[in-house]
Structure 1
Amino acid sequence: MPQAARWAGSPSIKGRSESTRMALLTFSLVGLQFTWGTEMTYCTPYLLQLGLTKSKTSLVWIAGPLSGLIIQPLIGVIADRSRSKWGRRRPFMVFGSFVVAFCLIVLGWTAEIVRYFVKEPEKAKNVTIALAVSSIYAVDFSINVVQACCRSLIVDTLPIPLQQSGSAWAGRMCAIGQLISYVIGSIDTVSIFGSFFGDTQFKQMTVIAALFLVGAVAVTSYSVKERVLITARDSDGKAGAIQVISQLFKTTLELPPRIQAICWAQFWAWIGWFPFLFYSTTWVGETYFRYEVSKEDLSKATDMLGEVGRVGSLSLTVFSAITVLSSVLLPFCVQPPDTKRTRFTPRPPPGVAAALKAMTAVRPDLQTAWLISQIMFAATMIFAPLAHSRGFATFLVAVCGVPWAISGWAPFAFMGVEINKLTMNNNSGGAAGLTTRSGVTMITSASIRNSAADTELEVLRLNHRDSDGDDTDEEDQASNIPSTGELAGIYLGVLNVYTTLPQFVGTFISWIVFTLLEPGAEPSEESDASDTQWMNLDKDKPNAISICLFIGAISALVAAEATRRLRYIR
């Protein structure tokens, strides 16, 4: 019989209450989403301002799905087998965050860096574009390292009954990070900070994002203690690079039925979300300047990139506020997956308990909530081509905050439960280090006596220990099974494959639409940062981004059907 993985230590999270522990565990996602929000808000208009057409800019965004497709599954498998004394996830999170911070600074100062080495204007322009695109690729590849490990850390640390709660908290933290990003992006930071962080809004946002990400990852890394992998499973211990790739490919092709169904629902949903996330800021800004700003006012603009970013960020601030509110309230209104086995019911804050109590009798399960969210997103984005004012465009973007909140936790909650069920099945039989008869114990200061550090009240311990002779029934055992996280990296990596592949599809669709409707004109040599040639301000021509959003709405309807079928798969 193959030997199971062997571990040392017990996962723990600092904090005096469950809410505090969950917040600390997922706090890294605040900085992560802040960085994503900054990139999505400013990088598209930044590239357009440098001289790229929309069709070429859409191809640049292959960086996101390409990095996710390659990096997240690969780093998931590598981290799964890491035997670092600091744990399997945190070293990658910390190192990756510093790489992201460096690449963000380079992205913000591409023009200055190039001018230092290249003096010829035309050559400097081309090199600046190349460096900016390269920096975006570097940011996307390195931030996917951080993201993969942040998500896997949640699955590693929490037992099955807390998987939905952990995913819900992750969704809240993502929404908070996004909200902070858009709030800061909607104000004139240059007038507040002067030139201390740079002389343009874009430069200052890259610096703030870099500091925010490093700080958030540091908080989570300090607050969470991981178990240390001593010995991997026999089948994993001698795997090299080729074996890793082979395992990823084999796992993707041989997914368990429910995990495969979850992945396909995610695939179709993300064809719809991709254009929304990457182009909504530019879309709202273009709508505003196309229909509501006179040519005289346009000619007075000195930082058009900052203007578009602020207008778009203001609408996305409303979107993120709704996302945060939805992320906090909706998990209490939705039944967690597999309730018959986990018996876990989240406790709402006292202030909203009375209002939510009446809803518990009719609250939908998570699968139904996910289905409704996809229909809601589709019904909203179908109206995108009809938006001829900033107010209406902002309204459409804001409404999408509700489905985005659900999509931020639903697939990960489903995956967390399914991954840990697989771990339970793979380790049945009481193999050393992992057994199906394990308990989860939250030990207070009175029961922790192993060391001085263990006497701190604010430490939660999730013990993974044998319980030989336990006569509890199968249902009770299932509800007490802790998360081993042994399979978290690879299966979350596979989920990410199904999240990134549709982004290639979305990029291809966007490229076709932009090529046909807005081929664009290259800026003249006399054009400067205040010019608006990179925006389509012709009221008589269709807005290409609106068409991309409409196509995404159609894909969301397909995702809704895939989610509906999830109920019938066992």
Structure 2
Amino acid sequence: MPQAARWVGTPSIKGRTESARMALLTCSLAGLQFTWGIEMTYCTPYLLQLGLTKSRISLVWIAGPLSGLIIQPLIGVIADRSRSKWGRRRPFMVVGSFVVAACLLVLGWTTEIVGMFVSDPERVIAKKATIALAVLSIYAVDFAINVVQACCRSLIVDTLPIPQQQAGSAWASRMASIGQLIGYAIGSLDTVGLFGTAIGDTQFKQMTVIAALSLIVAVSVTSISVQERVLISARRDSDGKAGAIQVLSQLFKTTLDLPPRIQAICWAQFWAWIGWFPFLFYSTTWVGETYFRYEAPQGAAESKDILGEVGRLGSLSLVVFSSITFLSSVLLPFCVQAPDKNKKRPNFTPRPPERLAAVLTRLTAIRPDLQTAWLISDLMFAATMIFAPLARSRAFATSLVAICGIPWAISGWAPFAFMGVEINKLAINTSPTADSRSGITMITSTTIRHHHVDAPVADAELDVLRLNHRDVDSDTDDEEAGYPTAARASSSSPAANFASTGELAGIYLGVLNVYTTLPQFVGTFISWIVFSILEPARNEQPAGAEGVETPPADTEWMNVNSDSPNGIAVCLFIGALSALVAAEATRRLRRTEYVI
């Protein structure tokens, strides 16, 4: 007989208003996105400055999808089983953020650290050691930050009830947009001139310090503000095995045998990210390259600091993109219906003024649901990037990048909202018996085929579920405990009003991350093919007279020939075609039901 999962405590969030509680719960994602932005903006020029060739830099950036593919699902499963008195997610978040901060500081001071062991910084061994340390630091940052990200996302699913999953994902998108916008805005400033040399003598060093402090502060705010339910004993099978092999086996089986609805969400995410990958990694270079191809004055491409000029041009487009993303993440959630159609609000809704009542009624009637909004966002991204090969000015390229801020806001919100709802619905609807000792079993498509999930839940079973999902020893009211919304069960819609258990949130969000990272490998392969065909001369540099590989010229990494095809624009066009496939996958999500 499987042993039930036993819990103590009630999840709660500090704060007087729902907005304050949501902001505190998702604050950690602002620090995460800030750190991601600093890495993506500065690390490529930094590695070029250290002398690493472009072909080898591409291998460095495999760290992102590789760490996401391995670390997030694995940490998700391990955190699901954690019995720490501080909760299942927060210890990993705090420790991971300090590891990220330490690796960022090492990355900023690689030359000085190597100089402590090698006296002559001009020696070949010193340069190779500096490059090696920088690459290792980037890999360490990527692996550690995926630990933090996995637990931050799972914490939202753990804490919020089903009706609030969309709001939680929307707030996560807002906080990520804020972190992204602040990161790009600060990066466009002369921080050395503002702060002096107290925290570093270069802009890159100062940005690593700011990013490290921001991540620690943001994660600390969330960790202090959220109270997790403590796992006393995890669900185990009758043989009692719970080792590392079982963890990996569980992860593999879950990925291969997902419930139909979750599988459909993952496939929509997979095709969408084949399109987003080239956009996120190459849009800055594409904007700068478009300018130097078609608008720059004669001889501008011979500038000694062309890399810096491209960075500044790209930063402007990213600031506009981030601003639109932030505004979209704030406004769009009010224009979209919640993904749970059966949700019934028990609380009183104030009647609007008489003059506005008719207008608001009409707007509410035409408000799309989240699935439709996700579909429209895929189509919008495809319709925008399909014009990338036609861009002949920096203004047009910047406009295309800016428009993509709207679908990017939805893509950072919709899949996680759907996953949060589905995870908790499955946990409730597939409870096998009304025995209070029964726990939430591993939910796969096979499990669903053996349970009538659409069958109504008996009143006696609801009473047991209330006991299993609430602390029976706690008489603290939800609102007094700081819980975001009432978690009281409703006889008319029990699933909609249950508080989240999140027992398997880590593993399912880890699986979603697998479907987010695998497209990055596909995108890398597609980009490699496109660049090899259209820009073969820029893949490798010829060897010098003594057989030593010569460093690339400052303009060799960018194609400024207006008569040749633009490889990045072609990659963006292919991404638009993939977004059309994602739109079809999203459309089919509505027809994907539970298998009985």
2:322 to 314, 320, 331: 320
Q: How much has 1:39 moved relative to structure 2?
A: 1.4
- CA distance, structure 1, for counterparts of residue 63 and residue 276 of structure 2: 16
2:407 match: 403
Change (3 A) 1:461 1:554: closer
Aligned partner of 1:371 among 348, 370, 375: 375
Mapping 1:39-438, distance limit 5 Å: 39-118=39-118, 119=120, 120-235=122-237, 238-294=241-297, 305-341=307-343, 343=345, 358-427=362-431, 428-432=433-437, 436-437=462-463, 438=465
Q: Distance in 1 between matches of 2:436 and 2:244?
A: 27
Do 2:68 and 2:517's aligned partners in 1 also have CA atoms closer than 8 Å? yes
- What CA distance in whole angstroms lies between the structure 2 residues aligned with 1:318 and 1:202? 22
Cα separation, 1, equivalents of 2:75 and 2:102: 20
Query: For structure 1, which segment, 395-404 or 333-342, has the greater mean C-alpha deviation from structure 2 after superposition?
Result: 333-342
**How far is 1:272 from its partner?**
0.8
| Worse-matched range after superposition: 312-321 or 79-88 | 312-321
From the superposition, tell whether residues 411 and 324 of structure 1 become closer, same or farther in structure 2 (CA, over 3 Å): same
The CA deviation at 1:523 is 10
Give deviations 1:213-250, integer Å, cap 9, x for gaps.
11100000000010110011123963111110000000
TM-score for the superposition, normalised by structure 1: 0.89
Any conservation in 2 of the 1:55–1:512 contact (CA below 8 Å)? Answer: no
Alpha carbons 1:12, 1:462 under 8 Å: kept: no
Q: How far apart, CA to CA, are the structure 2 residues paired with 1:89 and 1:107?
A: 27
Q: What is the rounded CA distance, in whole Å, between the counterparts of 2:486 and 2:338 in structure 1?
A: 23
Distance 1:88 1:158, change over 3 A: same
3-state SS of 1:339 partner: coil
- SS at 1:568 equivalent: coil
Note the C-alpha offset of 1:37: 1.2
Letter in 1 for 2:564: K
* Partner residue in 2 for 1:512: 529
Q: CA deviation at 1:549?
A: 1.5
Partner residue in 2 for 1:484 = 501
Return 5+ residue gaps in structure 2 as ranges.
440-460
Change (3 A) 1:330 1:464: closer
Letter of the aligned partner of 1:405 in structure 2?
A
Structure 1 range deviating more: 278-287 or 491-500 = 278-287
Once residues 298 and 196 of structure 1 are traced to their aligned partners in structure 2, the CA distance between those partners, rounded to angstroms, is: 35
1:505-551 CA-to-partner distances (Å, cap 9, x unmatched) read: 11112222333313253799999999444433333333322222222
Residues 446-476 of structure 1: CA deviation (Å, up to 9, x unaligned): xx987xxx999683377989x8xxxx63x33
Q: Cα–Cα, structure 1 residues 249 and 146, in superposed 2: closer, same or farther, change >3 Å?
A: same
CA deviations on 1:110-141 (whole Å, 9 max, x unpaired) are 23333443435433333333222222111111
What is the rounded CA distance, in whole Å, between the counterparts of 2:540 and 2:67 in structure 1? Answer: 28
Partner of 1:541: 564
Structure 2 residue matching 1:191: 3-state secondary structure: helix
Correspondence 1:460 to 2:465? no
Distance 1:288 1:107, change over 3 A: farther
Cα distance change on mapping 1:381 and 1:127 into 2, 3 Å = farther
Q: For residues 588 and 146 of structure 2, what CA distance do their matches in structure 1 show?
A: 30
1:6 Cα offset (Å): 0.6
CA contact (8 A) 1:12 1:157 kept: yes
Larger CA deviation: 190-199 vs 284-293: 284-293
CA pair 117-168 structure 1, distance change in 2 beyond 3 A:
same
Amino acid at match of 1:225: Q
Residues 105 and 206 of structure 1 are in contact (CA less than 8 Å); yes or no, is this contact kept in structure 2? Answer: yes
1:350-394 CA-to-partner distances (Å, cap 9, x unmatched) read 99x988664221111111111110111111112222223322221
* C-alpha distance in structure 2 between counterparts of 1:161 and 1:425, whole Å: 16
Q: What is the aligned counterpart of 1:503 among 491, 505, 520? A: 520
The 3-state SS of whatever aligns with 1:239 is coil
Alpha-carbon distance between aligned partners in 1 of 2:412 and 2:479, rounded to the nearest angstrom: 33
Alpha-carbon distance in structure 2 between the residues aligned to 1:124 and 1:319: 40
Contact kept in structure 2, 1:5 and 1:229, CA below 8 Å: yes
Return closer, same or farther for 1:408/1:281 CA change in 2, 3 Å cut-off: same
Report how far residue 166 of structure 1 moved.
0.6
CA distance in 1, matches of 2:323, 2:368: 23
Q: Report the CA distance shift for 1:360/1:36 in structure 2 as closer, same or farther (over 3 A).
A: same
Work out whether residues 332 and 346 of structure 1, in 8 Å CA contact, stay in contact via their aligned partners in 2.
no
CA contact (8 A) 1:286 1:535 kept: yes
User: What SS does the corresponding residue of 2:364 show, helix, strand or coil?
Assistant: coil
Match in the other structure for 1:521? 541
Q: Which residue is equivalent to 2:458?
A: none
Instruction: Report how many aligned residue pairs link the two structures.
Output: 552
How far off its partner does 1:496 sit? 0.7
Q: Given that residues 156 and 484 in structure 1 are in contact (C-alpha distance below 8 angstroms), is that contact kept between their aligned partners in structure 2?
A: yes
The one-letter amino acid of 2:494's match is Q
Letter in structure 1 aligned against 2:514: V
Amino acid of the structure 1 residue aligned with 2:562: K
Kindly provide the amino acid, as one letter, of the partner of residue 572 in structure 2.
L
TM-score (norm 2): 0.85
Closer, same or farther: CA 46–281 of 1 in aligned 2, 3 Å: farther
Query: Matched residues, percent identical?
Result: 72
Q: Which amino acid aligns with 1:283?
A: W
Letter in 1 for 2:246: Q
Query: How far, CA to CA, are the matches of 1:215 and 1:235 in structure 2?
Result: 40
Amino acid at match of 1:538: N
Cα 1:102–1:363, aligned 2, differ >3 Å: closer, same or farther? same
Change (3 A) 1:528 1:506: closer
Displacement after TM superposition at 1:314 (Å): 1.7
C-alpha distance 57-240 of structure 1, shift in aligned 2 (>3 A) = same
Instruction: Return closer, same or farther for 1:506/1:31 CA change in 2, 3 Å cut-off.
Output: same
Kept in 2: contact 1:382–1:553 (CA 8 A): yes
SS at match of 1:15: coil
Identify which range, 13-22 or 278-287, moves more after superposition.
278-287
Query: For 1:459, what is the secondary structure of its paired residue?
Result: coil
Quote the Cα distance in structure 2 between the aligned partners of 1:197 and 1:373.
41
The alignment yields a C-alpha RMSD, in angstroms, of 3.2
What is the CA–CA distance in structure 1 between the aligned matches of 2:349 and 2:571, rounded to whole Å?
40
